[in-house]
Amino acid sequence: MSRQHIVSHYTRLLARWPKDALRPEKTFQQIILEPRLQAAPTASPAGVTSEAISSPSATSSYVRNENNEVNAAYLLLENSFSKQFRPGKRLMEPMSNPKHYENLRRELEELPNRSLWGNWLQRMKSMVRMK
C-alpha cells in the first residue's frame, strides 16, 4: 500500500477514535496516531540506514509493517478482540466481590462529570462504611 493510502487510513482512524473523558490531555490520537500521520513519506524505521531502505525488499517490509499497524488499530477501534475473546462469568464476577467490575465501570462513567464537591463526598463515603 502506498504512503498516501496509509496516511488516509491514519486520518480516518483519527476521526473515528473515541475521545478519552478521563485524560483529555493525553489521548491515543496525540501520542500514537498523530506522530505517525505527520511522519515524512521518506521516514525510515528506527535502526535502518538509508542504503537499506533503497533496496526494494526493505521498503516493502517497512510498508507491510505499517499495514499491520493500521490493521491492528482498526481491530482495536472495532473492539474485535473483546468480542472474540469474552471473559468468563467467573472472571468478571469473582466470589469475593461479585459487583466489583460493575461498580468500577459505573465509577469510571460518573467520574468525568463529577464536581469537586462530588469527588470529596465520594472519598468520604469510601472511607466510612456503614452496615
pTM greater than the 0.85 cutoff: no
Dihedral sign from CA coordinates of 100, 104, 105, 106: positive
Contact 78, 13 (CB under 8 A): no
The whole-number pLDDT of residue 41 equals 53
Amino acid in the structure at residue 84: Q
Max CA separation in the chain (angstroms): 72
Ranges of residues in the chain with a pLDDT under 70 are 1, 40-64, 130-131
The whole-number pLDDT of residue 51 equals 47
| Beta strand spans in 3-124 (E) | none
Helices (H), 78-115: 80-84, 89-92, 100-110
The whole-number pLDDT of residue 34 equals 82
The whole-number pLDDT of residue 77 equals 92
Query: Directed axis angle between helix 56-77 and helix 3-16, to 10°?
Result: 20
pLDDT digits over 25-53, tens only? 888 888 888 887 777 454 444 444 444 44
The backbone region for 43, taken as left when phi is positive above 0, alpha when psi lies in -120 to 50, beta otherwise, is beta
The whole-number pLDDT of residue 131 equals 60
